[in-house]
Amino acid sequence: MRMRQARQDSRRARDFEAFVAGAGGRLLHAATLLTGERPGAAPAAERLLTAALARTYASWDRLRGEDPYACARQELAAAFAHGAWRHRAPRGGLLGGLPPRERLVLVLRLYEGVAEEQVAAALGLPVERVRALCVGACATLRSRPPTAAPVRRSPSRTGTAAGTRAGAA
């Protein structure tokens, strides 16, 4: 009996390690966007991701047939929303100047591609509010001066708007 349990635990650990190896980078990037930190120096994002992955691992056996990435993303969003007050101060990252709720909506909608209805349900907000948060955050990002990344101009297009980017998210 113990041998069978040990084999199951070993298989569970291997499966979860394989999942983290495949999805960990994208989840860390999402956590970095959420916390508003600069990539490469994001201790709060790493702590946030660790907490989300720990909760995902705790429910790993119950995920049969479900998408583990969606579960980990949901845990990440919930962990961020629960402690969003910690991430109010700008930290210099791409989305660091936005309020935490706008960062969360942008990351889920634009980076992760989650539908407005799903974001609204996950955050307990009306769909219209999610849409307004997303539009407002995009407008804020567009109104900022460009960051250190150079604007690439297409040789086939001319005019003032030829090389500008539509959005920074």
CA proximity to 91, closest of 81, 82, 103: 103
* Tokens encoding 150: 């150079």
| Cα(53)–Cα(76) distance, integer angstroms | 8
Percent residues over pLDDT 90 in the chain? 57
The per-type count for the chain, helices as H runs and strands as E runs, is: 6, 0
Q: How confident is the model at residue 159 (pLDDT cuts 50, 70, 90)?
A: very low
Residue with tokens 């030829």: 162
| Cα(88)–Cα(96) distance, integer angstroms | 8
CA proximity to 94, closest of 159, 25, 140, 44: 140
Which three-class secondary structure state does DSSP give residue 160?
Answer: coil
| Cα(156)–Cα(112) distance, integer angstroms | 32
Residue 132 has pLDDT above 60, yes or no: yes
For residues 114, 115, 118, 122, the Cα torsion angle rounded to the nearest 10 degrees is 50
DSSP conformation class of 111: I
Average the pLDDT over each of 5-9, 25-29, 106-110, 134-138 and give the range with the smallest value.
5-9
Per-residue pLDDT tens digits for 37-72: 988 888 999 999 999 999 999 999 888 889 999 999
pTM over the 0.75 mark: yes
Report the Cα–Cα distance between both ends of the chain, in Å, rounded.
Answer: 52
